[in-house]
Structure 1
């Protein structure tokens, strides 16, 4: 009876090992199904963002963007500077008012769908261009 039990255990173990090897092979081959474009898009999503080092806006410039204590170690106690001037509350309220008015005109039928889409495209182009212009000013 022990021979039969050991035989069942050996058969079960062998079957489990074969199934595990097949599953590992399936997982390994699953990565091969991606196209070059999918692999490139994945690599871009996983890439670390590019750091932009800003000069100090007040006081003396600091080496590497961090102040150093007397013993030479970096100090994180200095206030950090923003990459750009933040939008004021008045500017945000004005922009929100413009967008709400545009949406209301669209819903009431005061402007056509084509005109609405043209204005939206104009705002998106402005946002894209403004970002690039601001970045070029920052890096000067």
Structure 2
């Protein structure tokens, strides 16, 4: 009986020594992990998620916030581009209207000024003639 207990202790010590410190990285026995992966079991078990629930939730929330922020930025950027184009069109229309108005004002002011001075000048009906030397 004593021999069998001694043999069990030796076997347990051999099992502990068999893994060795070389195979243990960060508290995970790599031989066990490799054996589980070969058997089709991965380290992403319910226990893993249960132990790291706070981190998993935090990372998931951060990913969702990143996706939401990116979507919002893309929509805002497209809206800014659309409004910038609309503003440029409005500025062009404003410049065209201003130029047309100023040309009409100058001509009417000049005719009103000539009429008020009682000068016998009229606006020509035909374009001017250009004289050239022959």
Q: Scaled by the length of structure 2, what TM-score is found?
A: 0.28
User: Which entry has the higher C-alpha Rg, 1 or 2?
Assistant: 2
Q: Which of 1 and 2 has higher RCO (CA within 8 Å, sep 6+)?
A: 1
